[in-house]
Structure 1
Amino acid sequence: MTPQPRLIGKPIIRILCQKTNTLVGYLYQWNNGDVQPAWLNEAMAEVRYEPMADAA
């Protein structure tokens, strides 16, 4: 974590369930370079990541 405050975050990656291929969250990148998952429900261990550009 960096000493700069997190002011602006944008979703950069979709988090999908490995088994069902359903959307379970997004990975956000903050203005200070930090990344953080935002889960739609509960956090999951068996996931795969899909860049936002590939999702369109």
Structure 2
Amino acid sequence: MTPKPRLTGEPIMRILCKKTDNLVGFLYQWNNGDLQPAWLDDALADVRYEPISDAA
């Protein structure tokens, strides 16, 4: 973590289950550079990340 406060964040990646390809969350990048997953339900270990721009 950086000492600069988190003020704004935007989703930069979709988090998908490797087994089912279901959307399970989003990866956010904050204004201070921190990355944080936001899970739709419980956190999973077997996931892959897909850039938001690829999903459109």
State the TM-score, normalizing by the size of structure 1: 0.99
1:33 Cα deviation from its structure 2 partner: 0.3
Residue 14 of structure 1 aligns to which amino acid in structure 2?
Answer: R
Partner of 1:47: 47
> In 2, distance between residues paired with 1:15 and 1:48?
6
Matched, 1:3 2:6: no
> In 2, distance between residues paired with 1:14 and 1:38?
10
Give the secondary structure class of the aligned counterpart of 1:20: coil
> In 2, distance between residues paired with 1:5 and 1:29?
13
1:1-56 alignment to 2 at 5 Å? 1-56=1-56
Paired residues in the alignment total 56
1:1-52 deviation line (CA, Å, top 9, x unaligned): 0001000000000000000000000000000000000000000000000000
Structure 1's unaligned 5+ residue stretches are none
Percent identity for Structure 1 against Structure 2: 73
State the TM-score, normalizing by the size of structure 2: 0.99
